[in-house]
Structure 1
Amino acid sequence: MAETTAGRHVVRGVVCALAGGICWGFSGTCAQLLMDNYGAPAVWITCVRMVIAAVFFLFMTAVKDWRSLIAVFRDRRSLVQIALFAVFGVLLTQLSYLNAIAYTSAGVGTTIEQVGLVLIMLYVCVRARRLPRVREVAGLILALGGMVIIATQGDPGRLAIPPEGLTWGLVSALALAFYTLMPVRVLKKWGAMLVTGLAMLFGGSAASVVVQPWTLDVQLSTGGLAALAAIVLVGTLGAYMLYLQGVNDAGPVKASLLCCVEPVSATILAVVWLHAPVSGWDIAGCAFIVAMIFLVTEREPKPALEGEGAPGVALREGAEAALDDPPLFAGRASVLGYYTSRPATREDFDQVWALLDAGHETFAALGIDEGRKKYPSARRLMHSIKNGTTHVVGDAQGHMIAVFAVSFSPDKNYAGGIEGQWLTQTDAQPQPYAELHWVSVAPAARRRGVGAFILETAERITRRGGRASLRADVYQQNEPIQKLLEKHGYTRCGILSIKDVFGRRKERIAYEKLL
């Protein structure tokens, strides 16, 4: 039964990813309709589309997680990164893409934009200090060949499309690379919907100040208003939500490959709906570039590496390699998925132990005296793994980069009470809370949103277990984790006194979050 359900989810994910790609292609066709039939300039469509979409995205964020929406404005570094992403990623992508369509067609403009995947691939090669692989070289040749075929229509001696269209198409390809690579850290930290909404708000507002779309003489009939609504609701919000569901069900790699239907759908819709001219050379060029997408897009992540030699060394080398070699394009930037979580197995013991050792080293650096006997013991850790309460976090390449535990059993240290007050009753039946323990992140993976991912995952596990809250206790000197918990809505409940195996008492700060 479980396999049948999983299979149905994959099928649903495939359908949603395909539908998302078609919706993005439909968006380009609607934009072409507005520009050709109603004289709406690309800059006007860009401003209106981004501001309206931003309102919807931020409204959904406020409904889902209003605390993050407030907290992000206290993070100046993230706001600067989002602002840069808004201008050079979102705004430049939207503006150049629409201008490419205005001078060519929805199909041609969308197809040339996909050349940006090659730029991403080349960036990854430079960053990793390696030569392109055979399939990546083949993808580069296909991309250049497809672009030349479309631009010359088979006659190398002339340019068959307006030079402005080719220029804007290449700018849109460069913007696609910026759009994908720039927001990686803030996406991990704040989530896709919040970052996308703020970027659209910042970019749309900045463009509106410069362009002043309200001063442009754009007269839209009922059909034009319907096309504009379709761009926002279907081509932006609908495409985003469908593709996100596809990522959740089928995985980011499969979903991104399925989204190669976008240039195909844009071409077909432009021909069938708008009767845009299309030649055999256009179809051939589109086929070349679609084939390129399959070649340069990263395949499924490899399984976690087996630890060789000292597990701590293998762990650090694996994490650093993963972070120095960023994954290739795996879907639009707003839905890139880098981290995964699963229950730990016995085979993971050595790597989990190495992660916990890294945590002990961090405690020592913070001036925390854990004593001679570190927690948890090897026996307790193996017991937790057997019970399924310990979980590991992997990156896009499958390297293990973090560990945490969510326990549903009563914690004897909480039974003695605290100097303060928990949000839920400790002695209530059934037990209303779960506990978060043993959070440790590999040094090379820190400050990259892993902690936020752990909290979100732990909260999801807690809700699935039927508990109303999640508790944690933190060393007083561990200020980084205190800031992380408070930023994510945890309440500082008081001081907890914990007794170790030698009868010594140590004070910790108690936190709890209602879910």
Structure 2
Amino acid sequence: MAQTGAAVEGRHVARGVACALAGGVCWGFSGTCAQLLMSDYGAPATWITCVRMVIAAVFFLFLTAVRDWRDLVAVLRDWRSLARIAAFAVFGVLLTQLSYLNAIGYTSAGVGTTIEQVGLVIIMLYVCLRTRRLPRAREAAGLVFALGGMAVIATQGDPSSLAIPVEGLAWGLVSAVALSFYTLMPVRVLAKWGSMLVTGLAMLFGGSAASLVVQPWTMDVQLSGGGLAALVAIVLVGTLGAYMLYLQGVADAGPVKASLLCCAEPVSATVLALVWLHAPVSVWDAVGCVLIVVMIFLVTERERRPAAAPAEAAPDAGLDSENGAIPDDPPLFAGRASVLGYYASRPAAREDFGRVSALLDVGHETFASLGIDEGRNKKYPSARRLMHSIKNGTTHVVEDERGRLIAVFAVSFAPDKNYARGIDGAWLTDMRADPQPYAELHWVAVDRPARRRGVGMFILDKADRIAREGGRASIRADVYPENAPMRRLLEKHGYERCGEIVVKDVLGREKRRAAYERLLHG
């Protein structure tokens, strides 16, 4: 049975809370390892930053390529996303890394991490200004406890003096600004490409830029077994694990909640420094940690929304679909636009007729480039048939985040006379069943600038849902044998090739098509 939107959203946010907390703990562990490398092995912060980012980028992009190399190819064609990721790499990832490690170098893992969390104020103010609202009660209370905990640790209970060097405070405040950039800048590209791919490219861009300037290969850094183990831990746990978990928390629970939860980072760093490095921890450090733990309990208890309240169109509202609810729980670390709801679809309206016709013409031009005869005949479907399809709700359009129509497709529930003529092979469902067990997918056309960006897979996902909601057990499609891109897409989505059918046009001319069908479950 399908889950309700509230239940799915609740599970979605709960996963974001868990990921953000885990990311904070991993970062705290990373800070402790970095403190060990700098104090015991003399490794400069710039050297650690370059090495960890480049190695992490290789791991991230390798995992992305293994999972689905087409995502990597697709994002490289999306120059807007690449520009956003590059900016995120410099002002978010790289600046965070350098300032954070320098803050630790002048202070300690616990103190440097604590000052960084001042970025929470910037994040909350930005979100509240953008959404034109005051902080919610639990957000405000959590912020007070978080900042109170940080102030206690930084001043050691004496507000008239600072218990850390001025350089450490300065780098800590820079890292706070960088933390706000890191949290807020990638929201849109995270929605489109997911945490793994975005983080991998950001690490690659930022690490490459830093390495060209710093030239870490010229630095004389000698690491023994313990130092190498700490470096490996920084890369695997404090970089790969922490960044993926935190960005997943931002995507699931929103930037405000995720950034507040990352206050677990100074607590974990303080505890690890005490247990592992035997660093001194004062009573005031303990009090500050307790205040931050209280904050965690405050912000992780989800506030109930009124049943009729509309979804917020805000960065911390999660990745909502076109109707304001989260229809599915996206897989952990998934990134395809088709899964995460970056695009929206709706039934075509009468005023969409001109744009839909233009998109179908683009499809005909694609057919012509593939050597398909239909590409030279732009009269199919006829204007009358297309308008009839729009009126009865069969034709659907796809919009991007700016509301532009970028694709069209049709899902029909009426019997197809071409399928009734028989098939050179065998369908997955019985043609003689009553009621008809299948729906049909037709007229798929994607505008050229929107291709190779997950739109085709989004259409197939939506067509599945439309067919399932219409009570059908399967969905069928017929494709010209020369249309290799569409055949690959169908097969990747789980369609099975059932054989060939013969399609007759209005003049009685016969054309052979590859017949596909996909069984729908659940």
TM-score bracket, shorter-length normalisation: 0.5 to 0.7
Q: Check conservation: 2:32, 2:109, Cα contact below 8 A.
A: yes
The runs of 5 or more residues in structure 1 that have no matched partner are 307-317, 329-335, 344-353, 382-389, 396-403, 418-424, 440-445, 474-481
- Alpha-carbon deviations, 1:470-511, whole Å to 9, x = none? 9599xxxxxxxx9xx89x9999x9xx99999x99x9xxx999
What is the CA distance between 1:232 and its match in structure 2?
0.9
The residue number in structure 2 matching 1:105 is: 108
| SS of structure 2 residue aligned to 1:341 | coil
The residue number in structure 1 matching 2:218 is: 215
Choose 34-43 or 107-116, whichever is displaced more: 107-116
Whole-Å separation in 2 of the counterparts to 1:211 and 1:151: 31
- In 2 relative to 1, CA 256–176 (structure 1 residues): closer, same or farther, beyond 3 Å? closer
- In 2 relative to 1, CA 490–228 (structure 1 residues): closer, same or farther, beyond 3 Å? same
| SS of structure 1 residue aligned to 2:327 | strand
2:435 aligned with 1:412, yes or no?
no
The residue number in structure 2 matching 1:138 is: 141
Q: Check conservation: 2:260, 2:299, Cα contact below 8 A.
A: no
The residue number in structure 2 matching 1:75 is: 78
The residue number in structure 2 matching 1:479 is: none
The residue number in structure 1 matching 2:96 is: 93
| SS of structure 2 residue aligned to 1:274 | coil
What is the CA distance between 1:131 and its match in structure 2?
3.2
Whole-Å separation in 1 of the counterparts to 2:203 and 2:320: 22
- Alpha-carbon deviations, 1:204-263, whole Å to 9, x = none? 000000101111121111110110011111222244566789999xx6479887665333
- In 2 relative to 1, CA 377–84 (structure 1 residues): closer, same or farther, beyond 3 Å? same
For residue 278 of structure 2, the aligned residue among 275, 279, 302 is 275
- In 2 relative to 1, CA 263–337 (structure 1 residues): closer, same or farther, beyond 3 Å? farther
2:127 partner amino acid? V
Q: Check conservation: 2:409, 2:459, Cα contact below 8 A.
A: no
Equivalent residue runs for 1:167-186 within 5 Å = 167-186=170-189
| SS of structure 2 residue aligned to 1:327 | helix
Whole-Å separation in 2 of the counterparts to 1:498 and 1:298: 58
2:316 aligned with 1:327, yes or no?
yes
2:42 aligned with 1:39, yes or no?
yes
The residue number in structure 2 matching 1:341 is: 327
Equivalent residue runs for 1:9-20 within 5 Å = 19-20=22-23
| SS of structure 1 residue aligned to 2:315 | coil
- In 2 relative to 1, CA 257–115 (structure 1 residues): closer, same or farther, beyond 3 Å? closer
Whole-Å separation in 1 of the counterparts to 2:181 and 2:238: 21
Choose 212-221 or 259-268, whichever is displaced more: 259-268
What is the CA distance between 1:182 and its match in structure 2?
0.9
2:16 aligned with 1:50, yes or no?
no
What is the CA distance between 1:168 and its match in structure 2?
1.7
- In 2 relative to 1, CA 247–167 (structure 1 residues): closer, same or farther, beyond 3 Å? closer
- In 2 relative to 1, CA 57–363 (structure 1 residues): closer, same or farther, beyond 3 Å? farther
Choose 20-29 or 224-233, whichever is displaced more: 20-29
The residue number in structure 1 matching 2:197 is: 194
| SS of structure 2 residue aligned to 1:277 | coil
- Alpha-carbon deviations, 1:154-191, whole Å to 9, x = none? 21221111112222222222111111111122222222
Whole-Å separation in 1 of the counterparts to 2:211 and 2:454: 36
2:59 aligned with 1:62, yes or no?
no
1:362 partner amino acid? D
Number of residue pairs matched by the alignment: 430
TM-score (norm 1): 0.65
2:432 aligned with 1:428, yes or no?
no
What is the CA distance between 1:341 and its match in structure 2?
2.0
- In 2 relative to 1, CA 366–301 (structure 1 residues): closer, same or farther, beyond 3 Å? farther
Q: Check conservation: 1:42, 1:102, Cα contact below 8 A.
A: yes
Whole-Å separation in 2 of the counterparts to 1:65 and 1:102: 39
Q: Check conservation: 1:27, 1:230, Cα contact below 8 A.
A: yes
1:412 partner amino acid? D
Q: Check conservation: 2:427, 2:517, Cα contact below 8 A.
A: no
Q: CA RMSD in A?
A: 5.6
Equivalent residue runs for 1:298-447 within 5 Å = 299=302, 302=305, 305=308, 322-323=312-313, 325-327=314-316, 337-338=319-320, 340-342=326-328, 356=346, 360-367=350-357, 369=383, 373-375=388-390, 377=392, 412=416, 415=419, 427-430=425-428
Q: Check conservation: 2:253, 2:316, Cα contact below 8 A.
A: no
- In 2 relative to 1, CA 75–304 (structure 1 residues): closer, same or farther, beyond 3 Å? farther
- Alpha-carbon deviations, 1:269-322, whole Å to 9, x = none? 11110111221222223333444455567946848747xxxxxxxxxxx5xx73
The runs of 5 or more residues in structure 2 that have no matched partner are 330-343, 359-382, 402-407, 431-437, 445-449, 480-485
For residue 236 of structure 1, the aligned residue among 234, 239, 242 is 239
TM-score (norm 2): 0.64
2:32 partner amino acid? T
| SS of structure 2 residue aligned to 1:55 | helix
Q: Check conservation: 1:115, 1:289, Cα contact below 8 A.
A: no
For residue 267 of structure 2, the aligned residue among 261, 264, 269 is 264
What is the CA distance between 1:406 and its match in structure 2?
11
What is the CA distance between 1:12 and its match in structure 2?
9.7
Whole-Å separation in 2 of the counterparts to 1:62 and 1:322: 34
What is the CA distance between 1:147 and its match in structure 2?
3.2
Q: Check conservation: 1:413, 1:499, Cα contact below 8 A.
A: no
1:220 partner amino acid? L
Identity of aligned residues (%): 63
- In 2 relative to 1, CA 286–294 (structure 1 residues): closer, same or farther, beyond 3 Å? same
Larger radius of gyration: 2
Q: Check conservation: 1:110, 1:262, Cα contact below 8 A.
A: yes
- Alpha-carbon deviations, 1:339-367, whole Å to 9, x = none? 53259xxxxxxxxxx97456554344455
Whole-Å separation in 2 of the counterparts to 1:14 and 1:177: 18
1:88 partner amino acid? F
1:89 partner amino acid? G
